[in-house]
């Protein structure tokens, strides 16, 4: 049985993915090593042991990894454009489709603030928040590489108090190559 098939009681698929990611990065796992219940505490111990040998970088995707959803579809559903989306989906490439959806939202009086409020309702599993905060507190270099848009990522992470945990976010629309905490403090 591979590590990827071990159940983690009380964790959703996203938490399971992140726990599996941490464990696979930090050390090869054998089944001789008992894992009756993986928790943030076992991950923290592994991170501390790994840190002794040097820094640890953890790279995440965003949609369906940090959040259990696709952030674009969350907006579409949350703001009532599922019918239009389904109607146009087979006729347009994704970016053009999302541009069209944003035009429709704007024409209906939906503002950036409305979109941000919708994104803030995106749930994060509590174990995801704990895992990210613990890894950051232990000195891990946390980064995101994603095809989700920067606005959605920043809005969701900031709302959940996680934006400052990430040193870099690379997306399809913008790469932040300098540390995010400088950006948040207004430094150039």
59 pLDDT above the threshold of 50: yes
Is 70 among the residues known to form the active site? no
Lowest mean pLDDT among 21-30, 43-52, 62-71: 21-30
Total number of domains constituting the chain: 2
CATH number of the domain bearing residue 177: 3.40.50
Residue 142, pLDDT score: 94
pTM of the model: 0.68
Find out whether 124 and 160 touch, Cβ atoms under 8 Å: yes
Do 91 and 29 lie in one domain? The reply is no
The one catalytic residue among 61, 68, 70, 147: 61
Whether residue 68 lies in the annotated active site? no
pLDDT digits (tens, 9 = 90+) for 135-188: 999 889 999 999 999 999 999 999 999 999 999 999 877 544 444 444 444 433
Q: Beta 57-60 vs 141-145: how paired, if at all?
A: parallel
CA angle 104, 107, 109 (to 5 degrees): 115
Are 115 and 137 part of one and the same domain?
no
Residues 13 and 62 placed together within one structural domain of the fold: yes
Say whether both 49 and 112 belong to one domain: no
- Reply yes or no on whether the pLDDT at 10 is more than 50: no
Which structural domain, as residue segments, surrounds residue 56? Answer: 3-68+122-185
- Residue 15 and residue 82 in one domain: no
User: Are 26 and 60 within one domain?
Assistant: yes
């Amino acid at each position: 049985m591979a590590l990827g098939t071990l159940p983690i009681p009380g964790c959703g698929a996203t938490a399971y993915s992140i726990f599996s990611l941490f464990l696979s990065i930090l050390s090869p796992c054998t089944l001789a090593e008992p894992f009756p219940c993986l928790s943030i505490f076992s991950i923290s111990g592994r991170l501390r042991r790994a840190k002794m040998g040097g820094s640890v970088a953890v790279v995440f995707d965003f949609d369906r990894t940090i959040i259990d959803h696709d952030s674009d579809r969350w907006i579409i559903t949350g703001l009532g454009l599922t019918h239009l989306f389904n109607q146009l989906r087979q006729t347009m490439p994704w970016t053009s489709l999302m541009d069209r959806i944003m035009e429709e939202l704007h024409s209906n009086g939906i503002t950036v603030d409305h979109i941000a409020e919708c994104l803030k309702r995106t749930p994060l599993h509590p174990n995801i928040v704990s895992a990210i905060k613990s890894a950051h507190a232990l000195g891990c270099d946390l980064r995101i590489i994603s095809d989700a848009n920067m606005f959605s990522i920043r809005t969701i992470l900031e709302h959940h108090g996680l934006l400052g945990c990430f040193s870099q976010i690379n997306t399809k629309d913008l790469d932040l190559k300098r540390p995010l905490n400088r950006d948040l403090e207004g430094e150039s």
